[in-house]
Structure 1
């Protein structure tokens, strides 16, 4: 059994899938399996994944007979994993070559860690960096779940990041019930906080992943719903006796939440402008 399972759930992601798979296979840490779950795509996603599986024994292609919802599909890809450590990578995101090397080592060395996260770049549709070294402000080093929850609430957004820059334990994932269908727009942050009831958090200062901001993604198309669900989650955390969030934390988070929404809108706007410019250059 490999030490870590890297899972790529994909639905009609042919445009970026090969680049994403290559970023996983180029890892300096070699003891991993890569599961690509084709969610009944109608483009060439399955064929792309199959071409890699035929050349590299670490790659395993699985297919859903019908298209599942995103939470169900993401839960299934983790169910298909076999390793004690798991990373889920969106089919358009990227990993730095040393991502697994830096993240697996501390998780194996310290069974008290529930999550290891790194910083990540925000990139556009041409894989150009829009915002470098984003995330984990005030969250590097080992932190308790209480410390992380207070920081998350004060941030008013998601300072930990998306699934591609986080590594977690498979056993804990199933213990907390996996990705929640009623939290589609904040699945990652919701899961991280539930997992932190099983151990501590390690934030790495290195930038080890890249999150793509492109047109037609969940993040770009549903900004208001993301904002609403984030606010709901922050209030829920604030009421949790486990996380011991203080009134001042909630007050700061409520104040800063609109600023987080504005930053998100600005990132998507920059990405769209860059995409239009690139199309104009191609046409010329």
Structure 2
């Protein structure tokens, strides 16, 4: 007897702030999804442009729930967390206001969870939408970060399973530090929050992969080989703004890795971080011992 497929609720979480330029295209990509059980949760950081009007119009046009929440801005991480906190779905699928989901994205990610219940987060490959001139800097970025898993090997089906052993790689702290993907590339089980906590609200740039690596302490992450999303590159995206304003938290990240995952680290990496972040190590380094 054939097993009847189940379709657990998936929450498409869209944190927004002044996203009118591309928001309608992001929302339109939700309507193309082949997966039948969706809700959209929008968390707005008091946008001053037409973002809310675009979402409200979308709400009137679709036949699935669209819930909109507006609140005082408290930073990127707080907006992400606010969006997830309002979600009702078993699975959380981020979609950022600049990006696009391809039609089978949600369907294939839910199938992956059902096939591999030990997985806590599923990610996918991504293509790029260029809304900026493809200059030398963009070429360098695409060469370095176009395929975040290029240095890793999957199984015979090109499925890449990550677990806590990834911390033991000698190149773990080398670029790219994010080997999973931007938030639009991932879906995670709602109950993983109960195990690892929320996104760090004191981070502005690396809060996504800091979250992913906490997931790996408790469960696997699966990277699917298919391109299921499109990630938009443009001058006003958060990464570019943070870089231009020198609002980067990369300097905090190695110490967090040392304090949180030292028992998993490669011995050479652990020793290097020990010299920087332990009291004894700093003394020895200072006096050249």
Does TM, scored on the shorter chain, surpass 0.5?
yes
Across the aligned residues of Structure 1 and Structure 2, the Cα RMSD in angstroms comes to 3.0
**Match for residue 198 of structure 2?**
178
Q: Secondary structure at the match of 1:203?
A: strand
User: Is 1:217 paired with 2:230?
Assistant: no
TM-score normalised over the length of structure 1: 0.78
Change (3 A) 1:216 1:99: same
User: 2:271, 2:226 → 1: CA distance?
Assistant: 31
Select 1:76's aligned residue among 78, 82, 88: 82
- The equivalent residue for 1:98 is 104
Structure of greater Rg? 2
Question: Would you say 1:115 and 2:121 are equivalent positions?
Answer: yes
Which residue number corresponds to residue 142 of structure 1? 161
Q: How many residues align?
A: 253
Q: Which runs of 5+ in 1 are unaligned?
A: 254-284
Match of 1:37 among 15, 25, 43: 43
CA distance in 2, matches of 1:207, 1:178: 27
Does residue 198 (structure 1) correspond to residue 211 (structure 2)? The answer is: no
The reply to whether residue 58 of structure 1 matches residue 77 of structure 2 is no
Q: Point out 4+ residue stretches in structure 1 off by more than 4 angstroms.
A: 126-133, 224-228, 248-253
Matched, 1:188 2:236: no
Contact residue 121 and residue 188 of structure 2 kept, 8 A: yes
- Identify unmatched segments of 5+ residues in structure 2: 1-6, 155-159, 274-289
Return the TM-score normalized by structure 2: 0.77
SS in 1 for 2:202: helix
Deviates more, 1:201-210 or 1:125-134: 125-134
Q: Distance in 2 between the 1:202 and 1:241 partners?
A: 20
State the distance in 2 between where 1:65 and 1:203 align.
33
1:62 is paired with a residue of what secondary structure?
A: strand
Q: Summarize the Cα distance change of 1:156–1:239 in structure 2 as closer, same or farther, 3 Å threshold.
A: farther
Aligned partner of 1:169 in structure 2 is: 189
Q: Could you say if the C-alpha distance between residues 149 and 201 of structure 1 is closer, same or farther in structure 2, counting changes exceeding 3 Å? A: farther
1:227–1:234 CA distance, 2 compared to 1 (3 A): farther
Partner of 1:19: 25
- Structure 1 pair 66–223 and aligned structure 2 pair: CA distance change class (3 A): closer
Which has the larger helix fraction? 1
